[in-house]
């Protein structure tokens, strides 16, 4: 085996398919979100970022920065251990209490990321409950798929957001078997939202647990930023709510919130929780500042956010661009080809100073490559007009498909 040759050939294949990933090298400037510098070929130029998951700009909020800096001065950089061995800081415990409160659950548990939270929680639950079955939405995020796979439990995949199909599958499972319905509230590549209440109806009818990923909703939906389940009045019907501190909360880390017994169980059994160093206390403290700010003062930001999103969708629609029918803050534009998609985003960057990362396989299925715009409350009318004008010019230049 010629190892180097093997890896080189695989990379060449990716390049030929248009699926080779090129990262934009950014330098964010605190206080100037969504503007940033982009480094390329030893030069740097200014760009407006249109694809950040720091949805509300909280990653640069003065309270968050101040708390992070102060905590470092008080307690140092790292936590010094795993949660079990000297790594449980006061800041972790306080944040877990706050997150439990945010979701009106008895308890919460922190993980180093949202990915790890999904993988660790799902794999532990399903592998530990004898004879369990996972019912998983076909569009679930890679981290949930990893959890489902790693549990080695039986799984059934239901059609995306399709409660009829879900019920068909539930009906065929022996009633006494443990069942977990695994889904997201907002699907982050299409921007559609799950029928949470209907899924909970089925969970109650068939005695299944529910596990919801609210990663793209926490901080942004619901009166306190508790997510879509809070907005829809369904939080108490969901068994386990999972979220991230890295997107609307602007820091890093993941968590689940649930009953005390479930949290205690996962805390005691999940390898991905137990055998890794806990988050730096300054991260936990900064996340806490962000969660509290967004809970108490975020209403204006959330309203402004929705207003900006509606405005952008409207402008794009009027311009005849093929936006996908999203009902959330995510604004996808279908391109349908990886090479053209990359051409569009290269053009945006090089000619217009607009940064939108092309979304390609394996993030989305082949043939559905797209642009994914995430307007924030801070993007201005001017930013939007510049973006729409640029897209219209590019669409014309490359003779791309307009909206039907
Ligand atoms: C980003 C994402 C995650 C992972 O969260 P991180 O905190 O970034 O690891 C989990 N689920 C979904 C749906 C995501 O989009």
Q: What φ, ψ does residue 292 adopt, rounded to 5°?
A: -65, -40
- The preferred substitution site among 219, 244, 359 for testing ligand 1, maximizing ligand atoms within 8 Å of CB, is 244
Query: What average pLDDT score do residues 163-185 get?
Result: 98
Q: Do 284 and 89 meet the contact criterion of CB atoms below 8 Å apart?
A: yes
Q: How confident is the model at residue 404 (pLDDT cuts 50, 70, 90)?
A: confident
CB 284 within 8 A of CB 109: no
Of residues 93, 72, 60, 66, the one with CA closest to residue 282: 72
Q: Please give the radius of gyration of the chain, using alpha carbons only, rounded to the nearest integer.
A: 22
141 lines ligand 1 (CB under 6 A): yes
- pLDDT, tens digit, 9 for 90 and up, residues 194-253: 999 999 999 999 999 999 999 999 999 999 999 999 999 999 999 999 999 999 999 999
CA distance 401 to 327: 22
CB of 187 closer than 8 Å to CB of 155: no
Residue in this structure with the two tokens 């969708």, named with its chain if needed? 313
Amino acid 124: pLDDT? 98
How far apart, in whole angstroms, are the C-alpha atoms of residue 335 and residue 373? 13
CA distance 24 to 79: 31
Reference 309, options 391, 385, 373, 226; nearest CA is 373
Report the phi/psi class of residue 104: left, alpha or beta, with left for phi > 0 and alpha for psi in -120 to 50: left
Model pTM? 0.97
Strands 240-244 and 254-258: antiparallel
* pLDDT score at 323: 96
Q: Stretch 383-393: mean pLDDT, rounded?
A: 98
Asked if 269 is an active-site residue, the reply is no
What tokens does 34 get?
Answer: 């969504």
- How far is ligand 1, taken at its centre, from the CA of residue 181, in Å? 18
The CB of 54 under 6 Å from ligand 1? The reply is no
The whole-angstrom separation of Cα 7 and Cα 13 is 10
Work out whether the CA dihedral 214, 219, 220, 225 comes out positive or negative.
positive
Using pLDDT thresholds of 50, 70 and 90, give the confidence band for residue 29: very high
Of 144, 246, 249, the one to substitute when testing ligand 1's pocket (max ligand atoms within 8 A of C-beta) is 246
Mean pLDDT of the chain, nearest integer? 97
203: closest CA among 233, 247, 230, 234? 234
Report the C-alpha gap between 170 and 189 in whole angstroms: 27
| Each residue's pLDDT tens digit, 155-165 | 999 999 999 99
Q: What is the pLDDT of residue 96?
A: 98
Distances (CA, A) of 292 to 112, 289, 355: 20, 5, 30
pLDDT digits (tens, 9 = 90+) for 127-169: 999 999 999 999 999 999 999 999 999 999 999 999 999 999 9
**Model pLDDT, residue 90:** 98
> What is the residue with the minimal CA distance to atom 8 of ligand 1?
114
Question: 53 CA to middle of ligand 1, Å?
Answer: 10
DSSP letter string, 166-206: HHHHHHTS-TTS-EEEEEESB-TTT--B--HHHHHHHHHHT
pLDDT one-digit tens code per residue, 50-94: 999 999 999 999 999 999 999 999 999 999 999 999 999 999 999
H/E stretch holding 302: helix 281-318
322 lines ligand 1 (CB under 6 A): no
Atom of ligand 1 nearest to the CA of 184: 13
Pick the catalytic residue: 247, 301, 313, 342? Answer: 247
pLDDT for 135: 98
Q: Does ligand 1 lie within 6 Å of residue 184's CB atom?
A: yes
pLDDT score for 13: 97
| Amino acid 276: pLDDT | 98
What is the distance between the terminal CA atoms of the chain, rounded to a whole angstrom?
A: 51
The answer to whether residue 10 scores a pLDDT higher than 90 is yes
């Amino acid at each position: 085996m010629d190892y180097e040759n093997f890896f080189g050939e695989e990379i060449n294949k990716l390049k030929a398919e248009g699926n080779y990933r090129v990262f934009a090298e950014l330098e964010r400037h605190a206080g100037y979100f969504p503007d940033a510098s982009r480094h390329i070929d030893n030069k740097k130029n200014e760009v407006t970022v249109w694809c950040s998951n720091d949805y509300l700009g909280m990653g640069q909020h003065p309270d968050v920065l101040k708390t992070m800096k102060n905590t470092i001065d008080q307690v140092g950089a790292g936590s010094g251990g795993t949660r079990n061995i000297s790594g449980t800081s006061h800041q972790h415990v306080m944040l877990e209490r706050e997150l439990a409160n945010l979701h009106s659950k008895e308890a919460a548990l922190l993980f180093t990321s949202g990915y790890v939270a999904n993988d660790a929680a799902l794999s532990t639950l399903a592998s530990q409950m004898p004879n369990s079955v996972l019912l998983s939405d076909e569009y679930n995020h890679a981290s949930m798929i990893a959890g489902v796979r790693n549990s080695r439990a039986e799984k059934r995949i239901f059609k995306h957001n399709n409660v009829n199909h879900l019920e068909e599958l539930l009906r065929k499972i022996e009633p006494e078997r443990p069942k977990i319905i695994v889904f997201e509230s907002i699907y982050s590549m299409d921007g559609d939202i799950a029928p949470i209440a209907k899924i909970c109806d089925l969970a109650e009818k068939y005695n299944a647990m529910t596990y919801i990923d609210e990663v793209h909703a926490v901080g942004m939906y619901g009166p306190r930023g508790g997510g879509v389940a809070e907005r829809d009045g369904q939080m108490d019907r969901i068994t386990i709510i999972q979220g991230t501190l890295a997107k609307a909360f602007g820091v890093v880390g993941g968590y689940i919130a649930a009953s005390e017994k479930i949290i205690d169980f996962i805390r005691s059994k999940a390898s991905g929780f137990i055998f890794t160093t806990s988050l730096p206390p300054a991260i936990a403290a900064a996340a806490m500042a962000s969660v509290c700010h967004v809970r108490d003062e975020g209403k204006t930001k959330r309203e402004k956010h929705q207003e900006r999103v509606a405005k952008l969708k409207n402008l794009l629609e009027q311009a005849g661009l093929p936006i996908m029918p999203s009902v959330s803050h995510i604004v996808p534009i279908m391109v349908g080809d990886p090479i053209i998609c990359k051409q569009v985003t290269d053009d945006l960057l090089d000619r217009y100073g607009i940064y939108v990362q092309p979304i390609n396989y394996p993030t989305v299925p082949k043939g559905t490559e797209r642009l994914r715009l995430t307007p924030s409350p801070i993007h201005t009318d001017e930013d939007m007009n510049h973006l729409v004008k640029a897209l219209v010019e590019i669409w014309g230049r490359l003779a791309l498909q307009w909206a039907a």
